[in-house]
């Protein structure tokens, strides 16, 4: 069975968008570029909708690589769990960002459309639940490192399959025909 076009498109679209948002997030935090925050948040919320679609897609359509049939059991299990972890990270990243914003009283906005109003009391933004906001912020930052490590393993495994095993794992994900 070949990986479906929808699976490939979702994989690459989410990967590129998430890496872009992570890059913007790192830039914002290092340079205090506050004008980028609304864009980062809005694009993150929109990507979250696509990510939820990807989660649903993975539940209703189970796909395996043809090359997985001749792998040792430990590699099959490792691949399954690393994919689940990557999917979980892609869900938790926006959830922690959304939670951080709401708990810290910033509300929730997609561009200029308000989903949840900023908590303003006597002209000042007031956190709704500061400990939760701090936890969500820590989670958001920690997920960056968990994502980096998991992505390194994921990419290394894809290159291992391509260069060492010389199977079709990577070419399938790139949408190329089998030889």
Task: Please say whether the beta carbons of 40 and 28 come within 8 A.
Answer: yes
* pLDDT > 70 in the chain, percent: 93
More confident call, 69 vs 79: 79
More reliable by pLDDT, 80 or 87 = 87
Split at pLDDT 50, 70, 90, the class of 1 is low
Spatial CB neighbours of 75, under 8 Å, sequence gap ≥ 6: none
Look at residue 41 in the predicted model and tell me its pLDDT: 95
pLDDT tens profile 91-146:
999 999 999 999 999 999 999 899 999 999 999 999 999 999 999 999 999 999 99
Q: What is the pTM of this model?
A: 0.86
In terms of DSSP H, where are the helices of the chain? 5-31, 37-60, 73-103, 130-159, 169-173
Q: Find all residues with CB under 8 Å of 92, minimum gap 6, and list them.
A: 139, 143
Q: Phi/psi of residue 162, each to 5°? A: -75, -45
Token pair for residue 35?
């004008």
Which residues lie below 8 Å from residue 161, measured CB to CB, with a gap of 6+?
67, 167, 169, 170
DSSP 175: T
pLDDT tens-digit series, residues 135-172: 999 999 999 999 999 999 999 988 888 888 888 777 77
């Amino acid at each position: 069975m070949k990986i479906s076009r929808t699976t490939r498109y979702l994989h690459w679209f989410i990967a590129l968008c998430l890496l872009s948002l992570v890059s913007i997030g790192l830039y914002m935090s290092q340079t205090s570029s506050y004008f980028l925050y609304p864009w980062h948040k809005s694009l993150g919320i929109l990507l979250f909708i696509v990510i939820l679609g990807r989660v649903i897609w993975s539940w209703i359509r189970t796909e395996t690589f043809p090359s997985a049939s001749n792998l040792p059991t430990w590699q099959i299990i490792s691949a399954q769990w690393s994919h689940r972890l990557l999917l979980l990270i892609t869900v938790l990243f926006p959830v922690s960002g959304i939670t951080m914003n709401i708990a810290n009283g910033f509300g929730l906005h997609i561009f200029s459309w308000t989903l949840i109003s900023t908590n303003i009391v006597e002209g000042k933004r007031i956190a709704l639940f500061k400990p939760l906001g701090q936890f969500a912020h820590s989670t958001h930052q920690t997920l960056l490192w968990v994502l980096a490590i998991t992505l390194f393993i994921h990419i290394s495994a894809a290159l291992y399959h391509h260069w060492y095993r010389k199977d079709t794992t990577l070419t399938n994900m790139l949408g190329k025909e089998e030889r």
